[in-house]
Every structure is written in structure tokens, then in C-alpha cells.
Structure 1
Amino acid sequence: MVKHTGRPAYLQIADDLRAQIRGGALAPGDPLPSTAQLAEQYDASLSVVKMAVGILRNEGLVVGQQGKGVFVRDQAEAAPAADLAGEVAELRSAVQELAVRLAKVEEQLATSTTRPGSRSSR
């Protein structure tokens, strides 16, 4: 289930599926559950699940087969691309988290009262 942590749901789902793949719970050649099954499992919309699976595809962890489904890729084949893609995904995640934190700081600054006698920079 997706948690309300401020981290986008699709990233949480991708993280969980990635951990299952790297941990061996989903082995090379195993099919991922259907989009509908994943949506029910994570209590998320179909579009959110599709975005999460798209991240795993971009990282080279899974591969889609038209009309058959999405399968865990053999990591020996995908290792170089997966390593780089994983690093990019981690960087994107860190940037997203920083953006959320920055937005909170900016909101606090905008709503805080100014000290008497302080001047605007305009």
C-alpha cells in the first residue's frame, strides 16, 4: 500500500517492486502482476502503476512483451544500463524530495510575519 509520505506514489511502488526484484522475490523471467492487480495491491490508480512500471522499464529491470505482459529481465544482460538508470532514478528521487522540502520552506517564509521595521527589498 502506498504511504502518505510526500513521496509520489509511483516512486514508492517502483521502489517496492525494485526491492522485490533485487531481493529475488521476483526472479528473472517472472511476470509482474497485471496493472490491475498491482493497482489493487497498492491501492493506486492504473496510471500511477503504469508510471511505476515505466520507471522499471527505463532502468532495464523489466521488459514488456506485447500481448503477454511485463517480465523481470535477467540482470546479467541489463547490468550496465540498470546501474546507470538506477543512479538516475535515485537522483530524480532526491531532487523530488528536495523540491518538496523547498516548497515547504518557501511556504513557511511566505506566511511568516515580518519583523517591525524591516524593509522590503523593492
Structure 2
Amino acid sequence: MVEKTGRPGYLQIADDLRTQIRTGSLAPGAALPSTAQLGQRYDVSASVVKAAISVLRTEGLIVGQQGKGVFVREGVTASPEEPTSSEIMDQLAQMRSTLAALGDRIVELEKAVFRGPK
């Protein structure tokens, strides 16, 4: 059921289905429940379900087959656990360091190419 959190219902549904895909509850090639079934499960209208399906299709997690249904895209595997905040901070620190080094290299290149005052 969609909760009244201020987050749009279609995004809550997309989050739930995405989690099921990522954890393997919905395996590659598996059919998603019908729009009517998802509407009943989440207690929402068909248009809300269709918006959630559209989000997942845009993300490349699912594919639709006219007249057959919507399926988890082949090649989608269960993802490893989400990175921790410390891992993300480490990655950001590495990116900052790399950007600083690139900035220094650009300054040196500009000095070599543009000798003299600007």
C-alpha cells in the first residue's frame, strides 16, 4: 500500500518493484503482475501503476511486450549491497583529489601555451 509520506505514489511503487528486482524476488525474465493486480496490491489507480512502470522502463529494468505483459529485463542481476556513507565519502574524496590534480595540469598547460599576460 502506498503511504502518505509526501513522496508520490508512483515513485513508492517503483521503489518497491526496483527493490524486488534488485534482490532477485523478481528474476530476469519474470513477468510483473498486471496493472490491475498492482493497482489492487498498492490500492492505487491504473494510471499511478503505469507511471511507476514507466519509471522502471526508463531505468532499463523492465521491458514491455505488446499483448504479453511487462517483464524484468534479462541481464538484470541482484545488486550488491548499497555502499555505506563512508564508502561514498571516500569516493568523493578520491574524485576531489583527481579533479584538483587535473586542475593543476590545466594550469600548467595554459602556462605553456599562453606565455605572457592574458
Q: 1:76 to 1:11 in 2, by over 3 A?
A: closer
Equivalent residue runs for 1:106-121 within 5 Å: none
Structure 2 spans left out of the alignment, 5+ residues: 78-118
Determine the structure 2 residue equivalent to 1:11. Answer: 11
CA distance in 2, matches of 1:22, 1:38: 18
Structure 1 segments, 4+ long, off by >6 Å, are: none
Q: Is the contact between residue 28 and residue 76 of structure 2 (CA under 8 Å) also seen in structure 1?
A: no
Q: 1:76 to 1:27 in 2, by over 3 A?
A: closer
CA distance in 2, matches of 1:23, 1:47: 26
Structure 1 spans left out of the alignment, 5+ residues: 78-122
Higher percent of residues as helix: 1
Q: 1:52 to 1:23 in 2, by over 3 A?
A: same
CA distance in 2, matches of 1:33, 1:76: 18
Q: What's the CA shift for 1:74?
A: 1.7
CA distance in 1, matches of 2:75, 2:14: 17
The yes-or-no answer on 1:60 pairing with 2:71 is no
Q: Deviations over 1:6-28 (max 9, x none)?
A: 00000000000000000000000
Q: Is the contact between residue 61 and residue 76 of structure 2 (CA under 8 Å) also seen in structure 1?
A: no
Q: Is the contact between residue 36 and residue 46 of structure 1 (CA under 8 Å) also seen in structure 2?
A: yes
Q: Is the contact between residue 62 and residue 73 of structure 1 (CA under 8 Å) also seen in structure 2?
A: yes
Matched position secondary structure for 1:4: coil
Provide the identity percentage: 71
Q: What's the CA shift for 1:75?
A: 3.1
**RMSD of Structure 2 on Structure 1 (CA):** 1.3
Q: 1:76 to 1:47 in 2, by over 3 A?
A: closer
Asked which structure has the greater RCO (Cα within 8 Å, sep 6+), the reply is 2
Q: What's the CA shift for 1:76?
A: 5.2
Residue type of the alignment partner of 1:57: R
Q: Deviations over 1:42-78 (max 9, x none)?
A: 001100000000000000000000100000002359x
Task: Give the TM-score normalised by the residue count of structure 1.
Answer: 0.61
